[in-house]
Amino acid sequence: MGSVLAVDLGASSGRGILGELKDGKINLKEVSRFPNKPIYKKGILSWNTDYLFSEIKKSVIEAKKFDEVESIGIDTWGVDFGLLDEEGNLITFPANYRDSRTKGILERVSKLFSLEDLYMITGNQIMEINTLFQLLALREKNPELFYQVKTILLIPDLFNYLLTGKIAAECSIASTTQLTNSYTKEWSEKVLDNFELSRHMFPNIVKEGNFLGTTKPELGLGDIKVINVCQHDTASAVVSVPSEEDFLFISCGTWSLIGTELKEPILSKDAMKFNLTNESGHSGTTRLLKNCTGLWLIQELKRNYKEDGINYSYEEIANIASLVSSNKCLIDTDDEIFSEPGDMRERIVSYAKRTTQSIPNKPEEFFRCAYESLAHTYKKTIEEIEIVTNKKFEEIYIVGGGSNATFFCQLVANITGKKVIAGPGEATAIGNIVIQLISLKKIKDVAEARKIISNSFNLITFMPNMK
């Protein structure tokens, strides 16, 4: 029996992780890890897909040194996309959602189409970075690129195409675009027609677990199955939440995604007011959630200090932040001032002055400010989700990189007043792996997978300390 390979591409790094089901447990083996740094291409902040695809191929080669690789699944962040021309070639590197070209576009769109009506069709949180708005900005500012396009492929679909030569759009990643109907989970003809976007540019949508094809012979990787997993990384992460009851989750990486899993979308006025998004999950479920700035602030602060010659590890960052007895500065982590790369210390100081708060000075004060502000964002968002769902949640599952930060998990428990269950840390890769195993008929369904995950990985519980 071979293993399956999960390629998990995040907005700051990527990794390849082998997964094997043995004796009722899932075993993981990290075979590669690599940075993901945007570059400027034709004046646009972009993703270097040539480099990333080379790392994906290296991951497969490394994985084969350990075991036979039966299949591969790729998950990534949402909203961004590549453009193929008539010959099926990539026109240019995909634009990065943090590029400034969409600034101010919501005001222009709102004059053409009601943002409330757009929400009621798509269920998506209205954000300038969403695929729809990126496409409109592309057509407006770079028509020479837009009018070459035959096919639009979201990032994981693009890499699947490069691996197999086959084109499809997986349901969970498509649901991040502001272009799908939240109930039918298909491309919305009404939205496409209104914004004069051709349906032919968008591939047919397939469900998770779909066998797309095998790796192309010319890649020299062998005959490996490529499976459409839950390709939005959050959708994969939520698959790995080992709960059989209603649950809250926080998928904590560069972004923090806070939400719950539902059978149907919620498109109420409160849901729109709170800017909650409805995205497709496994087995036809909906993830009601909010995209918030996550560890991006910590990552940028870490980079800022590294440029000054101080290379903190994440463990050191958490340790020094925990020593700050009284943080006197809280920021709105979703303020647009923090959305683009730059010196976060200057921006935090500017925000503190603008809001007449104490100004952080030492590294530990900046890091504590970021962590604590993030926890308060979680608390506010959870309260909004409880209002919209009319449910009271007693516990939160924190999955992803943030689950490894003991100090931060305890801080979230204290500030939200809820029990926090941390783990698994490699949630996205695990969710990716189990969808492959279900597709290969080695696991029955997600319910069985979650029981296996619960038996395979150690979870840590943090009770709120209200002192």
Active site members: 233
d(CA 439, CA 209): 5
| SS3 annotation, 369-408 | HHHHHHHHHHHHHHHHHHHHHCCCCCEEEEECHHHHCHHH
What spatial distance separates the first Cα and last Cα of the chain, rounded to whole Å? 52
The answer to whether 168 and 116 are in contact (CB under 8 A) is no
Residues 6+ apart with CB under 8 A from 86: 148, 150
The answer to whether 107 and 94 are in contact (CB under 8 A) is no
The answer to whether 462 and 255 are in contact (CB under 8 A) is no
